[in-house]
């Protein structure tokens, strides 16, 4: 995806929407600065200063994950364009900033957009065994048919990169939208495979050396907007069945679908992908899990887990990307979802699907646990808990009712809150009653399917200062949305609609990262 980051006039809209309860600061200046209150999330990854958007697929190098992301150090000055900034982590919860790895505006290509990094173990490109190679989109003249793929390489373990000349390794053939290369190694056939976003198509390409690419096939899917940030991987299901998964970031809102990560399970013969079904499934049903990437799960010794992958997404949406109080309170605009563990399961209908759960290493950062046990609720029950960053888990059971859920970040008078739960035949996350970045009012409540005949639902909800991520029934469905509640809105309540329920094994955990 492109790294457009012009601030324009949007920040004032966020402050106006939230009123005087948002933190106030002086004139916008580069870098972090003190403010009376902070909107910086407590346990989610955020850019140290200025701007971030797309995550780039992390790679395992020398015992740690190298996480690159699109970063603009000139955001507050109003200048557009992104570089690749690097953070490293051994547990995908705590990250160490390493600064800019792939700079922008150092070649005629200009700034660097999305792509992918690979470790060239066998020295296929000629930069040395173990060199880290980046393929990324650049657009020298910023034209719709000017997008092409360029190569950078690193011989210092992925810390700094050098451009491989100034010409693209995959020029644009004269088409609109030609970007976001994702490269994987096909060891069985001794070659590299690239997926590329080409408007409503994912193109497949082969290369022996990462420098010369040949088109071999395409996967076309219309009706969900321009496809971006393709993803291709193999994963083994819990029943032992191996499947290939093709994913894309897509905006399906016009068709009543999510604007997140669409995916298909199927087969891949090294050249073409064949989907099990025409319609995609969605890895997230909220409004703000875009530009997401999945990546290998590695053991401490580097061994690959074939049954689990990790995933991370940008907790934002291009419809309102620049509307955030964080830029005025803390000097940054850019937050990611929690890293998730992705597994492949088979549903009762025989269809395979991806399930998500927060990364297990998050458990090692628990600083406080509040165990509330089983709570009977009819109507609204206000809990004796206050917080802005925590995890809530429970199982809700009932005999007969219309809906049940939780009110998160509830205001002292009960007027403002974020609602999460189930209602009749759908699960939902609703940010309408709080401060939402969506100024149109159209994209406030997200829905996913739910079977009311089960009369039970398991919820695991991650709340942070500017986001909510709800995992329904062990991550079969997930909703991620940005929201900016007033910092004084710290209450928590349970509720039911037209009936009684028991919130079983209700536990709150706080984290210190």
Residues taking part in catalysis: 54
Say how far apart CA 46 and CA 316 lie, in whole Å.
12
Q: Is 20 helix (H, G, I), strand (E, B) or coil?
A: helix
- DSSP code string of 282-307: ES--SS--EEEEEEEEE-TT--EEEE
Say how far apart CA 348 and CA 427 lie, in whole Å.
19
Say how far apart CA 90 and CA 107 lie, in whole Å.
33
Residue 117: burial class (beta carbons within 10 Å; 0-12, 13-18, 19+): buried
Do 390 and 510 contact (CB within 8 A), yes or no? Answer: yes
Helix spans in 283-397 (H): 326-329
* Both tokens assigned to 109: 């290509």
**Residue 399: Cβ within 10 Å count:** 9
Q: Is 242 helix (H, G, I), strand (E, B) or coil?
A: strand
Do 429 and 286 contact (CB within 8 A), yes or no? Answer: yes
């Amino acid at each position: 995806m492109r790294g457009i980051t012009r601030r324009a006039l949007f920040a004032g809209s966020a402050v106006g929407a939230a009123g005087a309860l948002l933190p106030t600061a002086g004139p916008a200046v580069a870098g972090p600065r003190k403010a009376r209150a902070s909107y910086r999330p407590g346990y989610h990854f955020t850019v140290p200063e200025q701007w971030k958007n797309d995550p780039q697929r992390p790679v395992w190098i020398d015992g740690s994950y190298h996480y690159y992301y699109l970063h603009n150090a000139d955001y507050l000055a109003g200048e557009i364009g992104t570089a690749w900034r690097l953070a490293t982590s051994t547990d995908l919860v705590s990250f160490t900033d390493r600064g800019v790895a792939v700079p922008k505006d150092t070649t005629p290509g200009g700034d660097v957009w999305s792509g992918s990094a690979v470790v060239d173990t066998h020295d296929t490109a000629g930069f040395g065994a173990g060199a880290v190679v980046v393929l990324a989109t650049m657009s020298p003249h910023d034209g719709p048919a000017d997008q092409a793929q360029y190569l950078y390489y690193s011989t210092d373990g992925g810390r700094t990169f050098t451009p491989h000349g100034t010409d693209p390794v995959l020029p644009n053939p004269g088409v609109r939208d030609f970007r976001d290369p994702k490269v994987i190694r096909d060891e069985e056939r001794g070659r590299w495979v690239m997926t590329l976003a080409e408007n409503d198509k994912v193109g497949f390409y082969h290369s022996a050396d990462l420098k010369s690419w040949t088109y071999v096939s395409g996967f076309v899917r219309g009706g969900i907007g321009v496809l971006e940030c393709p993803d291709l991987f193999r994963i083994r299901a819990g029943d032992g069945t191996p499947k290939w998964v093709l994913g894309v970031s897509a905006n399906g809102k016009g068709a009543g679908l999510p604007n997140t990560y669409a995916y298909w399970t199927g087969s891949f013969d090294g050249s073409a992908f064949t989907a099990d079904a025409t319609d995609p499934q969605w890895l997230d049903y909220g409004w703000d899990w875009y530009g997401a990437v999945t990546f290998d799960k590695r053991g401490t010794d580097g061994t690959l887990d074939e049954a689990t992958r990790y995933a991370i997404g940008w907790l934002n949406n291009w419809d309102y990307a620049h509307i955030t109080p964080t830029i005025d309170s803390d000097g940054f605009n850019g937050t990611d979802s929690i890293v998730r563990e992705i597994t492949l399961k088979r549903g009762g209908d025989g269809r395979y699907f991806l399930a998500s759960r927060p990364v297990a290493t998050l458990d090692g950062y628990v600083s406080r646990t509040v165990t509330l046990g089983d709570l009977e609720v009819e109507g609204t029950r206000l809990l004796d808990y206050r917080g802005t960053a925590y995890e809530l888990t429970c199982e809700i059971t009932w005999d007969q009712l219309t809906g049940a859920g939780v009110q998160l970040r509830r205001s002292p008078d009960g007027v403002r809150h974020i609602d999460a739960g189930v209602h009749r035949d759908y699960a939902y996350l609703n940010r309408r009653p709080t401060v939402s970045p969506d100024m149109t009012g159209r994209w406030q409540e997200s829905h996913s399917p739910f079977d009311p005949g089960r009369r039970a639902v398991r919820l695991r909800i991650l709340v942070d200062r500017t986001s909510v991520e709800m995992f329904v029934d062990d991550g079969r469905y997930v909703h991620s949305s940005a929201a900016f509640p007033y910092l004084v809105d710290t209450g928590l309540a349970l509720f039911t609609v037209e009936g009684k329920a028991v919130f079983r094994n209700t536990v709150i955990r706080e984290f210190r990262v």
